Structure 1
Amino acid sequence: MSPKGGGDRSMVPKADFRSYYGRPIVKAAPWKHDIPAYLFTGGLAAGSSLLAAGGQATRRPAMRRAGRVAALGALAASGYFLVNDLGRPERFHHMLRVAKPTSPMSMGTWILTAFGVAAGAAAAAEAAPVLPWRLARRALPPVGAAAGYLAAAVAPALATYTAVLLADTATPSWHAAYPELPFVFAGSALASGAGVGLLAAPAAPARRLAVLGAALELYGAHRVETTKGLLSEPYATGRAGRLLRLGRTLTAAGVAGAWLGRHSRVLSALSGASLLAASAVTRFGIFEGGMASARDPKYTVIPQRERLEGS
Protein backbone atom coordinates (compact mmCIF):
# COMPACT_ATOMS: atom_id res chain seq x y z
CA MET A 1 0.00 0.00 0.00
CA SER A 2 1.08 3.60 -0.52
CA PRO A 3 1.88 5.63 2.65
CA LYS A 4 -1.36 7.64 2.26
CA GLY A 5 -3.54 4.61 1.73
CA GLY A 6 -4.30 5.48 -1.88
CA GLY A 7 -3.88 1.96 -3.21
CA ASP A 8 -1.03 -0.24 -4.34
CA ARG A 9 2.18 1.44 -5.35
CA SER A 10 3.90 0.14 -8.43
CA MET A 11 7.18 -1.57 -7.61
CA VAL A 12 8.27 -1.64 -11.25
CA PRO A 13 10.37 1.36 -12.28
CA LYS A 14 9.34 3.35 -15.30
CA ALA A 15 10.75 1.84 -18.50
CA ASP A 16 13.95 3.41 -19.70
CA PHE A 17 14.48 2.60 -23.36
CA ARG A 18 18.09 2.36 -24.36
CA SER A 19 19.98 1.02 -27.32
CA TYR A 20 23.43 -0.44 -27.73
CA TYR A 21 26.17 2.04 -26.86
CA GLY A 22 23.55 4.77 -26.47
CA ARG A 23 22.99 5.00 -30.23
CA PRO A 24 19.50 5.52 -31.71
CA ILE A 25 17.84 2.39 -33.05
CA VAL A 26 16.71 4.25 -36.19
CA LYS A 27 19.28 6.36 -37.93
CA ALA A 28 17.92 9.89 -38.18
CA ALA A 29 17.76 11.44 -41.63
CA PRO A 30 21.05 13.29 -42.29
CA TRP A 31 19.16 16.49 -43.12
CA LYS A 32 19.82 19.91 -41.68
CA HIS A 33 17.50 22.89 -41.63
CA ASP A 34 17.98 23.42 -45.36
CA ILE A 35 15.42 20.67 -45.87
CA PRO A 36 12.45 22.17 -43.96
CA ALA A 37 13.26 25.46 -45.71
CA TYR A 38 13.18 23.52 -48.98
CA LEU A 39 9.81 22.02 -47.99
CA PHE A 40 8.40 25.49 -47.34
CA THR A 41 9.72 27.20 -50.47
CA GLY A 42 8.64 24.29 -52.68
CA GLY A 43 5.13 24.52 -51.27
CA LEU A 44 5.17 28.29 -51.68
CA ALA A 45 6.15 27.91 -55.35
CA ALA A 46 3.30 25.46 -55.91
CA GLY A 47 0.72 27.60 -54.13
CA SER A 48 1.85 30.75 -55.92
CA SER A 49 1.52 29.11 -59.33
CA LEU A 50 -2.06 28.11 -58.49
CA LEU A 51 -2.74 31.67 -57.40
CA ALA A 52 -1.31 32.91 -60.71
CA ALA A 53 -3.48 30.50 -62.69
CA GLY A 54 -6.52 31.75 -60.78
CA GLY A 55 -5.59 35.33 -61.57
CA GLN A 56 -5.10 34.39 -65.21
CA ALA A 57 -8.45 32.61 -65.43
CA THR A 58 -10.37 35.46 -63.74
CA ARG A 59 -8.51 38.22 -65.62
CA ARG A 60 -6.79 39.71 -62.61
CA PRO A 61 -3.38 40.71 -63.98
CA ALA A 62 -1.98 41.93 -60.65
CA MET A 63 -2.74 38.58 -59.00
CA ARG A 64 -1.39 36.66 -62.00
CA ARG A 65 1.83 38.68 -61.99
CA ALA A 66 2.35 38.35 -58.23
CA GLY A 67 1.79 34.60 -58.36
CA ARG A 68 4.15 34.03 -61.29
CA VAL A 69 6.97 36.11 -59.84
CA ALA A 70 6.57 34.57 -56.37
CA ALA A 71 6.52 31.05 -57.86
CA LEU A 72 9.78 31.62 -59.70
CA GLY A 73 11.45 33.28 -56.70
CA ALA A 74 10.35 30.52 -54.32
CA LEU A 75 11.50 27.89 -56.81
CA ALA A 76 14.95 29.50 -57.01
CA ALA A 77 15.18 29.51 -53.21
CA SER A 78 13.99 25.89 -53.09
CA GLY A 79 16.69 24.88 -55.57
CA TYR A 80 19.31 26.64 -53.48
CA PHE A 81 18.29 24.85 -50.28
CA LEU A 82 18.19 21.48 -52.03
CA VAL A 83 21.59 21.87 -53.69
CA ASN A 84 23.07 23.20 -50.45
CA ASP A 85 21.89 20.06 -48.66
CA LEU A 86 23.17 17.80 -51.44
CA GLY A 87 26.59 19.43 -51.09
CA ARG A 88 27.45 19.62 -54.79
CA PRO A 89 25.25 21.05 -57.59
CA GLU A 90 26.10 18.24 -59.99
CA ARG A 91 24.31 15.74 -57.75
CA PHE A 92 20.98 17.25 -58.80
CA HIS A 93 21.97 16.82 -62.44
CA HIS A 94 23.00 13.21 -61.82
CA MET A 95 19.53 12.41 -60.44
CA LEU A 96 18.06 13.37 -63.82
CA ARG A 97 19.91 10.50 -65.50
CA VAL A 98 17.22 8.06 -64.42
CA ALA A 99 13.50 8.14 -63.65
CA LYS A 100 12.57 5.68 -60.93
CA PRO A 101 8.83 5.68 -60.15
CA THR A 102 9.36 3.89 -56.83
CA SER A 103 11.72 6.61 -55.58
CA PRO A 104 10.09 9.80 -54.24
CA MET A 105 13.43 11.60 -54.59
CA SER A 106 13.79 10.60 -58.25
CA MET A 107 10.22 11.57 -59.07
CA GLY A 108 10.59 14.77 -57.09
CA THR A 109 13.61 15.77 -59.14
CA TRP A 110 11.64 15.42 -62.36
CA ILE A 111 8.61 17.21 -60.89
CA LEU A 112 10.82 20.08 -59.75
CA THR A 113 12.45 20.30 -63.18
CA ALA A 114 9.16 20.24 -65.12
CA PHE A 115 7.65 22.83 -62.82
CA GLY A 116 10.75 25.01 -63.09
CA VAL A 117 10.61 25.14 -66.89
CA ALA A 118 6.92 26.06 -66.89
CA ALA A 119 7.15 28.55 -64.03
CA GLY A 120 10.19 30.19 -65.60
CA ALA A 121 8.45 30.64 -68.95
CA ALA A 122 5.33 32.03 -67.26
CA ALA A 123 7.35 34.54 -65.23
CA ALA A 124 9.39 35.57 -68.27
CA ALA A 125 6.18 36.44 -70.10
CA GLU A 126 5.50 39.14 -67.51
CA ALA A 127 8.46 41.06 -68.95
CA ALA A 128 6.91 41.20 -72.43
CA PRO A 129 5.49 44.75 -72.17
CA VAL A 130 8.90 46.30 -71.48
CA LEU A 131 10.84 44.40 -74.16
CA PRO A 132 12.01 46.39 -77.19
CA TRP A 133 11.19 43.63 -79.69
CA ARG A 134 7.68 43.63 -81.14
CA LEU A 135 7.78 39.91 -81.91
CA ALA A 136 8.65 39.09 -78.30
CA ARG A 137 5.87 41.34 -77.02
CA ARG A 138 3.38 39.42 -79.16
CA ALA A 139 4.71 35.90 -78.69
CA LEU A 140 5.46 35.83 -74.96
CA PRO A 141 1.96 36.38 -73.51
CA PRO A 142 0.35 33.29 -75.14
CA VAL A 143 3.42 31.22 -74.29
CA GLY A 144 3.22 32.49 -70.73
CA ALA A 145 -0.47 31.66 -70.54
CA ALA A 146 0.12 28.05 -71.59
CA ALA A 147 3.15 27.76 -69.30
CA GLY A 148 1.19 29.21 -66.38
CA TYR A 149 -1.51 26.58 -66.68
CA LEU A 150 1.13 23.86 -67.09
CA ALA A 151 2.87 24.99 -63.90
CA ALA A 152 -0.47 24.94 -62.08
CA ALA A 153 -1.09 21.39 -63.34
CA VAL A 154 2.25 20.22 -61.92
CA ALA A 155 1.84 22.23 -58.69
CA PRO A 156 -0.17 19.62 -56.70
CA ALA A 157 2.59 17.05 -57.27
CA LEU A 158 5.24 19.60 -56.28
CA ALA A 159 3.34 20.48 -53.10
CA THR A 160 2.83 16.88 -51.94
CA TYR A 161 5.74 14.77 -53.17
CA THR A 162 7.85 15.98 -50.23
CA ALA A 163 5.24 14.51 -47.87
CA VAL A 164 5.75 11.14 -49.58
CA LEU A 165 9.51 11.65 -49.34
CA LEU A 166 9.33 12.05 -45.54
CA ALA A 167 6.83 9.24 -45.02
CA ASP A 168 8.96 6.86 -47.10
CA THR A 169 11.77 6.98 -44.53
CA ALA A 170 12.12 4.76 -41.44
CA THR A 171 11.60 7.78 -39.18
CA PRO A 172 8.76 6.55 -36.91
CA SER A 173 6.50 9.60 -36.67
CA TRP A 174 6.88 10.54 -40.33
CA HIS A 175 6.19 7.02 -41.51
CA ALA A 176 3.13 6.64 -39.28
CA ALA A 177 1.64 9.88 -40.61
CA TYR A 178 1.83 8.90 -44.30
CA PRO A 179 -1.97 9.23 -44.88
CA GLU A 180 -2.12 12.75 -43.42
CA LEU A 181 1.13 14.44 -44.44
CA PRO A 182 -0.05 15.12 -48.03
CA PHE A 183 -3.06 17.00 -46.63
CA VAL A 184 -0.80 19.06 -44.35
CA PHE A 185 1.62 19.90 -47.15
CA ALA A 186 -1.07 20.60 -49.77
CA GLY A 187 -2.97 22.84 -47.37
CA SER A 188 0.20 24.62 -46.32
CA ALA A 189 1.10 25.25 -49.97
CA LEU A 190 -2.34 26.67 -50.77
CA ALA A 191 -2.29 28.89 -47.67
CA SER A 192 1.14 30.28 -48.55
CA GLY A 193 -0.02 31.00 -52.12
CA ALA A 194 -3.04 32.80 -50.68
CA GLY A 195 -0.65 34.75 -48.47
CA VAL A 196 1.17 36.03 -51.57
CA GLY A 197 -2.16 37.10 -53.06
CA LEU A 198 -3.28 38.90 -49.91
CA LEU A 199 0.02 40.74 -49.74
CA ALA A 200 0.22 41.78 -53.39
CA ALA A 201 -3.29 41.75 -54.85
CA PRO A 202 -6.03 41.00 -52.29
CA ALA A 203 -9.18 39.68 -53.92
CA ALA A 204 -11.87 37.06 -53.40
CA PRO A 205 -9.94 34.18 -55.07
CA ALA A 206 -7.03 34.64 -52.65
CA ARG A 207 -9.39 34.61 -49.68
CA ARG A 208 -11.10 31.45 -50.87
CA LEU A 209 -7.71 29.84 -51.43
CA ALA A 210 -6.76 30.78 -47.86
CA VAL A 211 -9.86 29.08 -46.44
CA LEU A 212 -9.32 25.91 -48.47
CA GLY A 213 -5.63 25.74 -47.60
CA ALA A 214 -6.20 26.37 -43.91
CA ALA A 215 -8.93 23.71 -43.74
CA LEU A 216 -6.69 21.05 -45.33
CA GLU A 217 -3.67 22.00 -43.23
CA LEU A 218 -5.51 22.14 -39.90
CA TYR A 219 -7.35 18.87 -40.61
CA GLY A 220 -4.15 17.04 -41.51
CA ALA A 221 -2.16 18.48 -38.62
CA HIS A 222 -4.91 17.59 -36.14
CA ARG A 223 -4.94 14.01 -37.38
CA VAL A 224 -1.16 13.77 -37.17
CA GLU A 225 -1.14 15.06 -33.60
CA THR A 226 -4.04 12.98 -32.25
CA THR A 227 -4.52 9.68 -34.12
CA LYS A 228 -1.08 8.03 -34.12
CA GLY A 229 -0.99 6.94 -30.52
CA LEU A 230 2.49 7.20 -29.07
CA LEU A 231 3.86 8.37 -32.42
CA SER A 232 1.74 11.54 -32.20
CA GLU A 233 3.63 12.55 -29.06
CA PRO A 234 6.69 14.05 -30.82
CA TYR A 235 4.37 16.42 -32.71
CA ALA A 236 2.64 17.59 -29.55
CA THR A 237 5.64 18.09 -27.26
CA GLY A 238 8.96 19.87 -27.27
CA ARG A 239 10.07 22.15 -30.07
CA ALA A 240 7.81 20.50 -32.65
CA GLY A 241 4.75 20.96 -30.44
CA ARG A 242 5.51 24.64 -29.92
CA LEU A 243 6.01 25.22 -33.64
CA LEU A 244 2.83 23.41 -34.66
CA ARG A 245 0.75 25.25 -32.06
CA LEU A 246 2.16 28.54 -33.31
CA GLY A 247 1.39 27.46 -36.87
CA ARG A 248 -2.26 26.81 -35.97
CA THR A 249 -2.57 30.20 -34.31
CA LEU A 250 -1.03 32.02 -37.27
CA THR A 251 -3.21 30.11 -39.76
CA ALA A 252 -6.39 30.93 -37.86
CA ALA A 253 -5.36 34.59 -37.54
CA GLY A 254 -4.51 34.76 -41.24
CA VAL A 255 -7.86 33.38 -42.38
CA ALA A 256 -9.82 35.55 -39.96
CA GLY A 257 -7.94 38.65 -41.04
CA ALA A 258 -8.42 37.81 -44.72
CA TRP A 259 -12.19 37.96 -44.39
CA LEU A 260 -12.47 40.69 -41.78
CA GLY A 261 -10.06 42.86 -43.75
CA ARG A 262 -11.83 42.66 -47.11
CA HIS A 263 -11.91 46.45 -47.28
CA SER A 264 -8.54 47.06 -45.63
CA ARG A 265 -5.35 46.69 -47.61
CA VAL A 266 -3.27 46.81 -44.42
CA LEU A 267 -5.21 44.04 -42.67
CA SER A 268 -5.12 41.92 -45.84
CA ALA A 269 -1.34 42.30 -45.99
CA LEU A 270 -0.99 41.34 -42.33
CA SER A 271 -3.17 38.30 -42.96
CA GLY A 272 -1.00 37.32 -45.92
CA ALA A 273 2.16 37.62 -43.84
CA SER A 274 0.53 35.52 -41.11
CA LEU A 275 -0.34 32.75 -43.58
CA LEU A 276 3.18 32.72 -45.01
CA ALA A 277 4.68 32.51 -41.52
CA ALA A 278 2.22 29.75 -40.58
CA SER A 279 3.24 27.69 -43.61
CA ALA A 280 6.93 27.97 -42.77
CA VAL A 281 6.42 27.22 -39.07
CA THR A 282 4.25 24.18 -39.84
CA ARG A 283 6.87 22.66 -42.16
CA PHE A 284 9.57 23.14 -39.53
CA GLY A 285 7.28 21.63 -36.88
CA ILE A 286 6.64 18.49 -38.93
CA PHE A 287 10.36 18.20 -39.59
CA GLU A 288 11.27 18.57 -35.91
CA GLY A 289 8.62 16.04 -34.83
CA GLY A 290 10.03 13.36 -37.11
CA MET A 291 13.61 14.00 -36.06
CA ALA A 292 12.62 13.80 -32.37
CA SER A 293 10.97 10.42 -32.94
CA ALA A 294 14.14 9.07 -34.56
CA ARG A 295 16.32 10.13 -31.63
CA ASP A 296 14.28 8.41 -28.88
CA PRO A 297 14.32 4.55 -28.97
CA LYS A 298 10.87 4.25 -27.37
CA TYR A 299 9.18 5.49 -30.55
CA THR A 300 10.66 2.50 -32.35
CA VAL A 301 10.46 -0.18 -29.62
CA ILE A 302 6.93 0.30 -28.26
CA PRO A 303 5.10 0.42 -31.63
CA GLN A 304 7.03 -2.67 -32.74
CA ARG A 305 5.96 -4.55 -29.59
CA GLU A 306 2.35 -3.47 -30.08
CA ARG A 307 2.37 -4.69 -33.68
CA LEU A 308 3.85 -8.04 -32.64
CA GLU A 309 1.32 -8.47 -29.84
CA GLY A 310 -1.54 -7.63 -32.19
CA SER A 311 -0.44 -10.00 -34.94
Structure 2
Amino acid sequence: MTSSSSSLTHTPYDGSSQPFTIGLKPLDPHEWIEIDGDLEIYLAEKDRLYETLPEKVFVEEPDTREAQREVLDLLTMHLPERFPKTYSHTGQAIEIQALGRRIELNAAETPPLRTASLLVPEDLILMRKGDNGWRLAAGSLCFPSSWSLTEKFGKPLHEIHEPVPGFGPGTRPAELIERMFDRLQGQAVERFNWSLQSGDALYHPISQRQRIDRATMRPSKLSDDEIAAQAFIRVERQTLRKLPKSQDILFTIRIYLNPLSALVKHPEKATLAASFAGQLAGLDQAQLDYKGLSADRDRLVTVLSQMADAS
Protein backbone atom coordinates (compact mmCIF):
# COMPACT_ATOMS: atom_id res chain seq x y z
CA MET A 1 0.00 0.00 0.00
CA THR A 2 1.91 3.00 -1.26
CA SER A 3 1.64 6.29 0.60
CA SER A 4 2.49 8.31 -2.51
CA SER A 5 3.17 7.22 -6.05
CA SER A 6 5.19 10.05 -7.47
CA SER A 7 6.04 12.95 -5.14
CA LEU A 8 9.07 12.83 -2.87
CA THR A 9 8.32 14.89 0.24
CA HIS A 10 11.64 14.26 2.00
CA THR A 11 14.92 13.07 0.48
CA PRO A 12 17.38 12.42 3.36
CA TYR A 13 19.54 10.31 1.02
CA ASP A 14 20.58 13.57 -0.67
CA GLY A 15 23.34 13.94 1.92
CA SER A 16 21.36 16.04 4.40
CA SER A 17 21.06 13.06 6.78
CA GLN A 18 23.86 10.55 7.04
CA PRO A 19 22.98 6.88 7.67
CA PHE A 20 23.58 5.54 11.18
CA THR A 21 23.98 8.94 12.81
CA ILE A 22 21.74 10.63 15.37
CA GLY A 23 21.32 13.78 13.26
CA LEU A 24 18.77 15.64 15.40
CA LYS A 25 17.65 19.11 14.32
CA PRO A 26 15.39 21.67 16.04
CA LEU A 27 11.75 21.44 14.97
CA ASP A 28 9.28 24.29 14.63
CA PRO A 29 6.28 23.14 16.75
CA HIS A 30 3.98 24.44 14.00
CA GLU A 31 5.42 21.73 11.74
CA TRP A 32 5.16 18.91 14.30
CA ILE A 33 2.63 16.80 12.35
CA GLU A 34 2.58 16.45 8.55
CA ILE A 35 -0.78 16.04 6.83
CA ASP A 36 -1.25 15.60 3.09
CA GLY A 37 -3.57 14.05 0.55
CA ASP A 38 -2.59 10.52 1.60
CA LEU A 39 -4.16 10.78 5.07
CA GLU A 40 -6.99 8.38 4.25
CA ILE A 41 -4.51 5.71 3.08
CA TYR A 42 -2.74 5.74 6.45
CA LEU A 43 -5.91 5.84 8.53
CA ALA A 44 -7.59 3.07 6.54
CA GLU A 45 -4.51 0.89 7.03
CA LYS A 46 -4.54 1.64 10.75
CA ASP A 47 -8.20 0.59 10.88
CA ARG A 48 -7.33 -2.69 9.16
CA LEU A 49 -4.40 -3.43 11.46
CA TYR A 50 -6.34 -2.64 14.64
CA GLU A 51 -9.03 -4.99 13.40
CA THR A 52 -6.74 -7.85 12.38
CA LEU A 53 -3.54 -7.51 14.46
CA PRO A 54 -4.41 -5.38 17.52
CA GLU A 55 -1.91 -7.03 19.85
CA LYS A 56 0.96 -6.44 17.40
CA VAL A 57 0.36 -2.73 16.76
CA PHE A 58 -0.59 -1.39 20.20
CA VAL A 59 0.99 -1.89 23.63
CA GLU A 60 0.71 -0.04 26.94
CA GLU A 61 1.86 -0.22 30.52
CA PRO A 62 -1.20 0.11 32.78
CA ASP A 63 -0.07 3.34 34.46
CA THR A 64 0.48 5.31 31.24
CA ARG A 65 -3.11 6.36 30.59
CA GLU A 66 -2.64 9.92 31.94
CA ALA A 67 0.39 10.45 29.68
CA GLN A 68 -1.53 8.94 26.77
CA ARG A 69 -4.30 11.44 27.45
CA GLU A 70 -1.71 14.20 27.40
CA VAL A 71 -0.74 13.17 23.87
CA LEU A 72 -4.38 13.10 22.77
CA ASP A 73 -5.00 16.54 24.27
CA LEU A 74 -1.95 17.98 22.49
CA LEU A 75 -3.15 16.66 19.15
CA THR A 76 -6.74 17.83 19.61
CA MET A 77 -5.40 21.34 20.26
CA HIS A 78 -2.80 21.30 17.49
CA LEU A 79 -4.62 19.72 14.56
CA PRO A 80 -7.68 22.04 14.18
CA GLU A 81 -5.42 25.07 14.59
CA ARG A 82 -2.75 23.90 12.17
CA PHE A 83 -5.07 22.22 9.63
CA PRO A 84 -8.46 23.93 9.96
CA LYS A 85 -9.63 22.68 6.56
CA THR A 86 -9.06 19.09 7.64
CA TYR A 87 -9.91 18.95 11.36
CA SER A 88 -12.55 20.51 13.58
CA HIS A 89 -13.14 20.03 17.30
CA THR A 90 -16.85 19.49 17.96
CA GLY A 91 -17.91 18.65 21.48
CA GLN A 92 -16.27 15.40 22.55
CA ALA A 93 -15.02 14.49 19.09
CA ILE A 94 -12.69 15.49 16.29
CA GLU A 95 -14.19 15.65 12.83
CA ILE A 96 -11.92 14.90 9.87
CA GLN A 97 -14.20 16.67 7.43
CA ALA A 98 -12.85 15.64 4.06
CA LEU A 99 -12.75 11.97 5.03
CA GLY A 100 -16.12 11.83 6.77
CA ARG A 101 -14.48 10.52 9.93
CA ARG A 102 -15.53 11.32 13.48
CA ILE A 103 -13.16 10.31 16.27
CA GLU A 104 -14.72 10.15 19.73
CA LEU A 105 -12.21 11.48 22.25
CA ASN A 106 -13.60 9.95 25.44
CA ALA A 107 -14.46 6.39 24.48
CA ALA A 108 -13.99 4.60 27.80
CA GLU A 109 -12.94 1.30 26.24
CA THR A 110 -10.22 2.82 24.01
CA PRO A 111 -6.75 3.79 25.29
CA PRO A 112 -6.17 7.51 24.62
CA LEU A 113 -2.98 6.85 22.64
CA ARG A 114 -4.86 4.53 20.33
CA THR A 115 -7.52 7.20 19.82
CA ALA A 116 -4.77 9.74 19.11
CA SER A 117 -3.25 7.42 16.52
CA LEU A 118 -6.49 7.46 14.52
CA LEU A 119 -6.14 11.20 13.96
CA VAL A 120 -2.77 11.28 12.20
CA PRO A 121 -0.59 9.27 9.80
CA GLU A 122 2.22 9.16 12.36
CA ASP A 123 2.95 6.27 14.68
CA LEU A 124 3.11 7.34 18.33
CA ILE A 125 5.57 5.91 20.86
CA LEU A 126 5.66 6.89 24.54
CA MET A 127 9.04 6.71 26.29
CA ARG A 128 9.31 6.83 30.11
CA LYS A 129 12.35 7.27 32.36
CA GLY A 130 13.02 4.50 34.86
CA ASP A 131 15.85 2.97 36.86
CA ASN A 132 17.32 1.43 33.69
CA GLY A 133 16.96 4.56 31.54
CA TRP A 134 14.27 5.50 29.04
CA ARG A 135 12.00 2.59 28.09
CA LEU A 136 9.17 2.02 25.61
CA ALA A 137 6.14 2.28 27.90
CA ALA A 138 3.30 2.51 25.36
CA GLY A 139 2.97 2.70 21.63
CA SER A 140 0.84 2.61 18.53
CA LEU A 141 3.09 1.27 15.78
CA CYS A 142 1.16 0.39 12.64
CA PHE A 143 3.98 1.10 10.20
CA PRO A 144 7.17 -0.44 11.66
CA SER A 145 10.33 -0.22 9.58
CA SER A 146 11.73 -3.70 10.10
CA TRP A 147 11.21 -3.99 13.85
CA SER A 148 8.73 -5.57 16.21
CA LEU A 149 6.77 -3.52 18.75
CA THR A 150 6.14 -6.51 20.97
CA GLU A 151 9.86 -7.36 21.07
CA LYS A 152 10.79 -3.79 22.08
CA PHE A 153 7.95 -3.16 24.55
CA GLY A 154 9.24 -2.35 28.03
CA LYS A 155 12.88 -2.35 26.96
CA PRO A 156 15.26 0.57 27.60
CA LEU A 157 16.85 2.54 24.78
CA HIS A 158 20.17 0.71 24.85
CA GLU A 159 18.39 -2.62 24.33
CA ILE A 160 16.01 -1.22 21.71
CA HIS A 161 19.00 -0.03 19.67
CA GLU A 162 21.13 -3.12 20.28
CA PRO A 163 20.68 -4.49 16.69
CA VAL A 164 21.68 -1.15 15.13
CA PRO A 165 25.37 -1.21 14.10
CA GLY A 166 27.35 1.13 16.33
CA PHE A 167 24.44 1.88 18.67
CA GLY A 168 24.50 -1.11 21.03
CA PRO A 169 24.89 -1.00 24.83
CA GLY A 170 28.06 0.75 25.96
CA THR A 171 28.70 2.57 22.68
CA ARG A 172 29.13 6.33 22.54
CA PRO A 173 26.03 6.85 20.33
CA ALA A 174 23.90 4.89 22.82
CA GLU A 175 25.17 7.08 25.66
CA LEU A 176 24.56 10.24 23.62
CA ILE A 177 20.97 9.24 22.89
CA GLU A 178 20.30 8.59 26.58
CA ARG A 179 21.73 11.99 27.53
CA MET A 180 19.79 13.68 24.76
CA PHE A 181 16.55 12.21 26.12
CA ASP A 182 17.48 13.42 29.60
CA ARG A 183 18.14 16.96 28.39
CA LEU A 184 15.18 17.31 26.06
CA GLN A 185 12.90 20.02 27.43
CA GLY A 186 10.69 22.46 25.57
CA GLN A 187 12.46 22.20 22.21
CA ALA A 188 11.04 19.59 19.86
CA VAL A 189 13.52 17.91 17.51
CA GLU A 190 13.36 15.85 14.33
CA ARG A 191 15.53 13.46 12.37
CA PHE A 192 15.24 11.41 9.19
CA ASN A 193 16.10 7.87 8.23
CA TRP A 194 15.82 5.96 4.98
CA SER A 195 15.75 2.36 3.83
CA LEU A 196 14.82 0.36 0.74
CA GLN A 197 12.29 -2.45 0.70
CA SER A 198 10.74 -4.85 -1.77
CA GLY A 199 7.09 -3.98 -2.32
CA ASP A 200 4.89 -1.22 -0.99
CA ALA A 201 3.73 -2.49 2.41
CA LEU A 202 3.42 0.22 5.05
CA TYR A 203 3.20 -2.49 7.73
CA HIS A 204 6.73 -3.88 7.49
CA PRO A 205 7.68 -5.67 10.73
CA ILE A 206 10.52 -8.09 11.28
CA SER A 207 11.65 -10.06 14.32
CA GLN A 208 15.25 -10.40 15.45
CA ARG A 209 15.30 -13.99 14.12
CA GLN A 210 14.05 -12.84 10.74
CA ARG A 211 16.70 -10.10 10.70
CA ILE A 212 19.45 -12.70 11.16
CA ASP A 213 17.97 -14.92 8.45
CA ARG A 214 17.65 -12.00 6.05
CA ALA A 215 21.29 -11.04 6.51
CA THR A 216 22.37 -14.41 5.10
CA MET A 217 20.27 -14.18 1.92
CA ARG A 218 22.02 -14.67 -1.39
CA PRO A 219 21.54 -12.23 -4.26
CA SER A 220 18.22 -12.77 -5.98
CA LYS A 221 18.05 -13.90 -9.61
CA LEU A 222 16.01 -10.91 -10.70
CA SER A 223 17.30 -8.62 -13.41
CA ASP A 224 18.35 -5.04 -12.69
CA ASP A 225 15.06 -3.82 -14.18
CA GLU A 226 13.06 -6.23 -12.01
CA ILE A 227 14.99 -5.17 -8.91
CA ALA A 228 14.30 -1.52 -9.71
CA ALA A 229 10.59 -2.19 -10.30
CA GLN A 230 10.18 -3.89 -6.91
CA ALA A 231 12.28 -1.43 -4.87
CA PHE A 232 10.52 1.18 -2.76
CA ILE A 233 12.16 4.04 -0.88
CA ARG A 234 11.03 4.15 2.75
CA VAL A 235 11.69 7.45 4.52
CA GLU A 236 11.06 7.91 8.23
CA ARG A 237 10.49 11.37 9.66
CA GLN A 238 10.92 11.09 13.41
CA THR A 239 10.15 13.74 16.03
CA LEU A 240 10.75 13.91 19.77
CA ARG A 241 9.11 16.19 22.32
CA LYS A 242 8.86 16.04 26.09
CA LEU A 243 5.33 16.08 27.48
CA PRO A 244 5.03 18.98 29.94
CA LYS A 245 2.93 17.23 32.60
CA SER A 246 4.15 13.62 32.70
CA GLN A 247 7.70 14.43 31.53
CA ASP A 248 7.46 11.36 29.30
CA ILE A 249 8.80 11.72 25.76
CA LEU A 250 6.59 11.32 22.72
CA PHE A 251 8.37 9.82 19.72
CA THR A 252 6.48 10.16 16.43
CA ILE A 253 7.32 8.31 13.21
CA ARG A 254 5.89 9.33 9.84
CA ILE A 255 6.51 6.96 6.94
CA TYR A 256 6.79 8.09 3.33
CA LEU A 257 6.88 5.28 0.80
CA ASN A 258 7.67 5.81 -2.87
CA PRO A 259 8.74 3.56 -5.75
CA LEU A 260 12.38 3.97 -6.68
CA SER A 261 11.16 5.08 -10.11
CA ALA A 262 9.80 8.27 -8.50
CA LEU A 263 13.36 9.59 -8.58
CA VAL A 264 13.16 9.76 -12.37
CA LYS A 265 10.44 12.42 -12.16
CA HIS A 266 12.26 14.59 -9.64
CA PRO A 267 13.78 17.84 -11.01
CA GLU A 268 17.03 17.04 -9.18
CA LYS A 269 17.05 13.37 -10.14
CA ALA A 270 20.71 13.26 -11.19
CA THR A 271 21.94 14.73 -7.93
CA LEU A 272 19.58 12.62 -5.82
CA ALA A 273 20.35 9.37 -7.64
CA ALA A 274 24.11 9.95 -7.44
CA SER A 275 23.95 10.80 -3.73
CA PHE A 276 21.71 7.80 -3.03
CA ALA A 277 24.09 5.50 -4.90
CA GLY A 278 27.02 6.92 -2.92
CA GLN A 279 25.31 6.37 0.42
CA LEU A 280 24.42 2.80 -0.51
CA ALA A 281 27.96 2.10 -1.70
CA GLY A 282 29.35 3.48 1.55
CA LEU A 283 27.49 1.10 3.87
CA ASP A 284 29.65 -1.53 5.53
CA GLN A 285 28.61 -5.17 5.85
CA ALA A 286 26.97 -4.83 9.27
CA GLN A 287 24.99 -1.84 8.08
CA LEU A 288 23.91 -3.64 4.91
CA ASP A 289 22.79 -6.64 6.95
CA TYR A 290 20.79 -4.41 9.27
CA LYS A 291 19.03 -2.67 6.38
CA GLY A 292 18.45 -5.97 4.57
CA LEU A 293 20.42 -4.79 1.55
CA SER A 294 23.28 -7.28 1.49
CA ALA A 295 21.82 -9.32 -1.34
CA ASP A 296 21.02 -6.57 -3.81
CA ARG A 297 23.02 -3.49 -2.83
CA ASP A 298 25.41 -3.64 -5.78
CA ARG A 299 22.65 -3.85 -8.36
CA LEU A 300 20.70 -1.05 -6.67
CA VAL A 301 23.83 1.09 -6.85
CA THR A 302 24.06 0.25 -10.56
CA VAL A 303 20.42 1.22 -11.14
CA LEU A 304 20.84 4.52 -9.29
CA SER A 305 24.09 5.30 -11.11
CA GLN A 306 22.36 4.71 -14.44
CA MET A 307 19.60 7.13 -13.39
CA ALA A 308 22.20 9.75 -12.59
CA ASP A 309 24.10 9.23 -15.84
CA ALA A 310 20.92 9.34 -17.96
CA SER A 311 20.08 12.87 -16.82
TM-score (ref. length: structure 1): 0.29
Larger radius of gyration: 1
More strand by share: 2
Choose between structure 1 and 2: higher helix proportion. Answer: 1
Between 1 and 2, higher relative CO (CA 8 Å, sep ≥ 6) is seen in 2
TM-score by length of 2: 0.29
